[in-house]
């Protein structure tokens, strides 16, 4: 089932690309599209949904293209929330969730200027951040983080995981920094539970440590420093249930 979902997503993304309709995958299916290790145990997992990112200029066009491809819109939901999110049901019961301009869960990740990094998915750094910004990170998120870090090195450009982009974001937002740095530690602690081959586990652990180090060395903005003085006395992240409404 998972392989079929990934292939269906690839075919849809290829169709949208040929039609010059802007859409980039995120979430677990995007990880599977970019990471060979996600297609085999122990990092393979089930996928039931496809998440797509677009911007406001292309939202209406994408909705029309999805409908033409056989994906039925959730008309009432889309009428109410289409400026930020749309939902569709497609062939083989594939649920498609379209996010417009930004991804919001525990933190806000803007797509502005980031949708041209790769022709199928968000950039690897963005994919990683969508996982590491989850306050209550769960097993499937840890699996996806491990797949990304297993298959891709940290870089200073979009050829790999753009560490410079991650550092810039986290060094300007204490809340993002607080959540991501905590999740890097949690992921390292949970890594042995994934039963990865020794060499693969060492690669993932090394990149987790490397990312934590470069983030720690980042030059903090005045905004970051001011928010850090307040610390955890004030909420530093959104409630995912509230963000989803």
pLDDT at residue 132, rounded to an integer: 97
Percent of the chain scoring above 90 in pLDDT: 94
Which uninterrupted H or E stretch holds 208?
helix 198-216
Q: pTM for this one?
A: 0.95
Q: What's the burial of 186, exposed, middle or buried (CB within 10 Å: 0-12/13-18/19+)?
A: middle
**Would you say 22 and 45 are in contact if contact means Cβ atoms under 8 Å apart?**
no
pLDDT at residue 245, rounded to an integer: 47
Dist. CA 164–CA 135, nearest whole Å:
23
Torsion sign (Cα): 29, 33, 39, 44: negative
State pLDDT tens for residues 69-85.
Answer: 999 999 999 999 999 99
Q: List the one residue out of 238, 46, 212 whose CA is nearest residue 143.
A: 46
What single string gives the DSSP state of each residue in 37-82?
Answer: GGGSTTS-----EEEEEE-HHHHHHHHHHHHHTT-EE-HHHHHHHT
Residue 171 in this model has a pLDDT that exceeds 70: yes
Residue 65 in this model has a pLDDT that exceeds 90: yes
**Would you say 128 and 176 are in contact if contact means Cβ atoms under 8 Å apart?**
no
pLDDT range class, residue 6, cuts 50, 70, 90: very high
Dist. CA 63–CA 72, nearest whole Å:
9
Residue 150: CB atoms within 10 A of its CB come to 21
């Amino acid at each position: 089932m998972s392989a079929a979902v990934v292939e269906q997503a690839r075919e849809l993304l290829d169709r949208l690309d040929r039609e010059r309709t802007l859409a980039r995958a995120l979430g677990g299916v995007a990880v599977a599209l970019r990471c060979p290790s996600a297609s085999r145990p122990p990092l393979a997992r089930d996928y039931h949904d496809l998440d797509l990112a677009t911007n406001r200029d292309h939202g209406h066009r994408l909705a029309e293209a999805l409908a033409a491809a056989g994906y039925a819109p959730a008309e009432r939901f889309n009428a109410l929330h289409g400026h930020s999110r749309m939902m569709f049901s497609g062939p083989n019961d594939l649920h498609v969730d379209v996010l417009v301009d930004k991804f919001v869960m525990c933190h806000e990740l803007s797509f502005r200027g980031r949708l041209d990094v790769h022709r199928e998915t968000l950039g690897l750094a963005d994919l990683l951040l969508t996982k590491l910004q989850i306050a209550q990170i769960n097993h499937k998120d840890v699996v996806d983080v491990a797949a990304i870090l297993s298959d891709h090195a940290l870089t200073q450009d979009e050829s790999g995981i753009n560490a410079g982009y991650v550092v810039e974001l986290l060094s300007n937002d204490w809340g993002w920094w607080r959540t991501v740095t905590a999740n890097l530690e949690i992921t390292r602690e949970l890594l042995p539970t994934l039963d990865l081959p020794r060499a693969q586990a060492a690669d993932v652990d090394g990149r987790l440590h490397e990312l934590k180090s470069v983030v720690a060395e980042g030059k903090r903005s005045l905004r970051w420093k001011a928010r850090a003085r307040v610390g955890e006395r004030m909420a530093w992240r959104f409630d995912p249930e509230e963000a989803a409404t």
